[in-house]
Amino acid sequence: MAAPAAHDGTQQRVVIENCSVATVDASDTEYPSGHVVVAGNRIESVGSGPAPSGLENVVRRIDAEGHLLTPGLVNTHHHFYQWITRGLATDHNLFDWLVALYPTWARIDEPMAYAAAQGSLAVMARGGVTTAMDHHYVYPRDAGDLSGAIIRAARETGVRFTLARGSMDRGKSDGGLPPDFAVETLDGALSATEETVDTYHDASFDAMTQIAVAPCSPFSVSTELLRDAAQLARRKGVRLHTHGSETVEEEKFCHELFGMGPTDYFESTGWLGEDVWMAHCVHMNDSDIAAFARTRTGVAHCPSSNARLAAGIARVPDMLAAGVPVGLGVDGTASNESGELHTELRNALLVNRLGPHRERALNARQALRLGTYGGAEVLGRAEQIGSIEPGKLADLVLWKMDTVAHASIADPVTALVFGAAAPVALALVNGEPVVENSRLTRVDEDAIARSTRTEARRLAAIAGLTD
Ligand SMILES: [Zn+2]
């Protein structure tokens, strides 16, 4: 990993001052009225009061009174393609929902994947996400270059991005859930994943595109694919991602097929480690949590999706107490139609307070940390993003907190987490605006709304959902 470059004094500077600042550093340092100076694509300084005087090359100076500045939000679990299958199978548990939707998903093609990625990215960015991820695992034969289309959409939107190149090779005839025509072969999945890593993965400090190796789940992937994928990722030096311990049905499936629970099964296939993060982890016993903590395996907590599919409440307070890295995810938008991460801060806090730890489960600062630094940790990027500290990349969000929705709430971090979804006045990635006044700066939201509707209708027609 390259060390941050020293600022040479000639870089253009952006100054944001006169706002509340929540740094989410190791001490949770906050400034009721503070400043941040951005030089090039890095944070140069952060502190109390106005920015230092005498700064040169200041190209933009923002008086941010009435705003809260935080690190950009980091999403750690999503399936972009589901943007065009929202609002279907709305009263199902996970397995029934998967069985209902797989035949439709198996019909996606490149224009659909591109439009769905644009829609997913647009709504996340507008809600303060500066680092996105997509776990894409549906690669029907002859569907075109789906990974390339998804990465193109991310680059156009301007957000930092991890594509978790997924795969499925356990079709119905092998005891899995997906129909046979929606799965790849073992060798086909592995070679396509390796090619994606070779083509797109950037290991540099300020990388905009990274690739992870991401077989879908124990009930759609063979044991061989899990084992070989872990070896591939370690040979290439990239991260591993999958779904784990999402529902009681999955737990039962693992016991019946493998004679052990999901965490033991993952351990037996090389899938616990500091280079691994898993979505959900709802059904974890004490020894599962201890294994994740011991191996520094990360978790993407997806509270809305878990509620939508009646999966249960992940034991986030126990995971944090044990030292498990935890980030937040929206999950695919066929199981969380909103697709926003800033509302997940609130949902994570509220859902966890319904569990055994009640009002002590999570507080507003912990929720903000899950959505920022915690996410950076599970994506393996905590040295570069996730907190406001000198030398880190300038991925920042300025939340507008002086409207009627928030102005009377006593504390800005509480207002952000407990209050209504706050508008994003400005979102910077690498010091460059991707959102200004709640509008995307680089892509046309209205055109995306039209193309996602067109592609959703085209998919529904091909899948036989409409006449
Ligand atoms: Zn998922």
44 C-alpha to ligand 1 centroid (Å): 36
Is the pLDDT at 260 greater than 60, yes or no? yes
Model pLDDT, residue 2: 45
Model pLDDT, residue 7: 53
Model pLDDT, residue 181: 81
User: If you average pLDDT over residues 209-232, what whole number do you get?
Assistant: 96
3 C-alpha to ligand 1 centroid (Å): 33
Identify the residue with better confidence: 189 or 3: 189
**Which residues is 426 bridged to in the sheet?**
398, 436
| Global confidence as pTM | 0.96
Model pLDDT, residue 466: 73
302 C-alpha to ligand 1 centroid (Å): 9
83 C-alpha to ligand 1 centroid (Å): 13
Is the pLDDT at 309 greater than 90, yes or no? yes
Model pLDDT, residue 467: 55
Q: Identify the helix (H) or strand (E) that includes residue 434.
A: strand 432-436
Is the pLDDT at 224 greater than 50, yes or no? yes
368 C-alpha to ligand 1 centroid (Å): 21
Query: 153: which residues sit within 8 A by CB, 6+ positions away?
Result: 80, 114, 117, 118, 121
* Stretch among 64-73, 88-97, 130-139, 301-310 having the lowest mean pLDDT: 88-97
331 C-alpha to ligand 1 centroid (Å): 5
Q: How confident is the model at residue 219 (pLDDT cuts 50, 70, 90)?
A: confident
Task: Give ∠ CA 303-307-308 in degrees, rounded to 5.
Answer: 115
Eight-state DSSP code of residue 393: B
Q: Are 345 and 417 in contact (CB under 8 A)?
A: yes
Q: Are 114 and 74 in contact (CB under 8 A)?
A: no
103 C-alpha to ligand 1 centroid (Å): 17
What is the C-alpha end-to-end distance of the chain, expressed in Å?
54
342 C-alpha to ligand 1 centroid (Å): 18
**How far, CA to CA in Å, does 218 sit from each of 159, 223, 289, 313?**
30, 8, 18, 20
Is the pLDDT at 300 greater than 70, yes or no? yes
Q: How confident is the model at residue 3 (pLDDT cuts 50, 70, 90)?
A: very low
Q: Are 85 and 456 in contact (CB under 8 A)?
A: yes
What is the rounded average pLDDT for all residues in the chain? Answer: 95
